[in-house]
Amino acid sequence: MSQNTYKNPMLKEGSLKDKVIVITGGGTGLGKAMGKYFVELGADLVIASRKLDVLKKTAEELSKEIGGNILPVECDVTDYAQVENLLKTSVDKFGKVDVLVNNAAGNFISPTERLSHRAFDIIVNIVLKGTYNCTLAFGKNWIEKKQNATVLNIVTTYAWTGSAYVVPSACAKAGVLALTRSLAVEWAKYGIRFNAIAPGPFPTKGAWERLLPGDLKEKFDLAKKVPLKRVGEHQELANLAAYLVSDYSAYINGEVITIDGGEWLKGAGQFNMLEMVPDSLWDMIEQMVRKTKGN
Ligand code: HXC
Ligand code: NAP
């Protein structure tokens, strides 16, 4: 196996044929990367966000490159009426929706005491309210039509660890994770699966400009925090997402899959810092520890 296999598409051709997939925040970054691969696998795609010009440009670019049916729909996920319109427009165009990917997000770094309540609101509204708005509108429709469906929520690893300096995002992503696990159980009886992906660092313009502005990129090289010593490739996230929204993952429900090269665990393990001890010191350390025998 080549070392770069993870950069290649993974699923069989046609794996998402006949599926209609809606991705919020699908015009940029990871949403765009997932959407591209879903269309390559045969899905019809709806991409939704606030900036119609960005969505149209992405749809044109992808259609030119790979063909397929891609519908851009302007939708602010914080507004329930716009979410209902997204559902209606998608169903009018494609007859149904099979998969919802709650990917839209907002975030920026800041000491929490510098935030106004409006700054807190804007992030929580996009991430948590946006996710439950879409989930509720699409879910009610699936239940009414007795249609099987899948929801994929994009969270982060600090959804369960928390993180300083991105507190509104951490609170909101924790809520999205709770929603994922709760509805995986409650709506399984309707044939609706819920899963989440927790990505580690995957460079995108949107995230990097707001989380690593200016020379912070160089100062805090995120690859160095990852045991595998690299950041993520968009295709490897798209591979995982495609599997989770496909019928190949039919028995996976309520799971959050971390794709971060071991980043969060490296921060968590109490003695992980011992990787800084050079090999040459381990003989001496072992002797010191062994000397304690019987003490
Ligand atoms: C403190 C700030 C601020 C800052 C805005 N505010 N930026 N406060 N520090 N840096 C405050 C404003 O003063 C205002 O409060 C309130 O927030 C709302 O401001 P707006 O001007 O309305 O918001 P705006 O700055 O235009 O937009 C913020 C945003 C925008 C909505 C979050 O950046 C956006 O559209 N983002 C979408 C894309 C995105 O964020 N992508 C990154 C996802 S990355 P007052 O009180 O003054 O009215 C991600 C990855 C996680 O989630 C993990 C990575 C490893
Ligand atoms: P991104 O390109 O900035 O994507 C965010 C998207 O959300 C944009 O397309 C934006 O489009 C859309 N959006 C924001 N507010 C919205 C609203 N109110 N209504 C509808 N759409 C809205 O950043 P990204 O890095 O690809 O992030 C994608 C997802 O991955 C997010 O959930 C993020 O938390 C998660 N994630 C990313 C990383 C990473 O390293 N990149 C790591 C962990 C998790 P408009 O501006 O047009 O609305």
Is there an atom of ligand 2 within 6 Å of 15 CB? Answer: no
Q: What is the pLDDT of residue 3?
A: 75
CA dihedral of 54, 207, 203, 273, whole degrees rounded to 10: -170
CA-nearest residue, atom 44 of ligand 2: 156
Q: Which of 103, 179, 222 to mutate to test the pocket of ligand 2 (most atoms within 8 A of CB)?
A: 103
176-179 LR contacts (CB < 8 Å, sep 24+): 176/102, 176/127, 176/128, 176/131, 177/153, 177/256, 179/128, 179/131, 179/132, 179/135, 179/153
Q: Of ligand 2's atoms, which has the minimum distance to the CA of residue 199?
A: 43
The ligand placed nearest to the CA atom of residue 125 is 2
Q: What is the model's pLDDT at position 138? A: 99
Closest ligand 2 atom to 33 CA: 26
The pLDDT, as a whole number, for residue 2 is 64
How distant, in Å, are the alpha carbons of 67, 223, 231 from that of 61? 9, 30, 25
User: Which one of the ligands is nearest to 205 CA?
Assistant: 2
CB of 103 closer than 6 A to ligand 1? no
Residue 1: its pLDDT value, please? Answer: 53
Active site residue ranges: 158
Q: Which ligand is nearest to the CA of 231?
A: 2
Return the sign of the alpha-carbon dihedral for residues 51, 75, 178, 253.
negative
Q: Which two three-digit tokens encode residue 169?
A: 């995002």
pTM of the model: 0.97
Report, in this order, helix, strand and coil percent for the chain, each rounded to 5: 55, 15, 35
All residue ranges of the chain with pLDDT < 70 are 1-2
Structural domains of the chain sorted by starting position, each given as residue range(s) with its CATH number in brackets: 12-293 (3.40.50.720)
Task: Give the per-residue pLDDT at 295.
Answer: 83
Tens of pLDDT, residues 123-172: 999 999 999 999 999 999 999 999 999 999 999 999 999 999 999 999 99
Chain centroid to Cα 35, Å, comes to 12
The H or E element spanning position 248 is: none
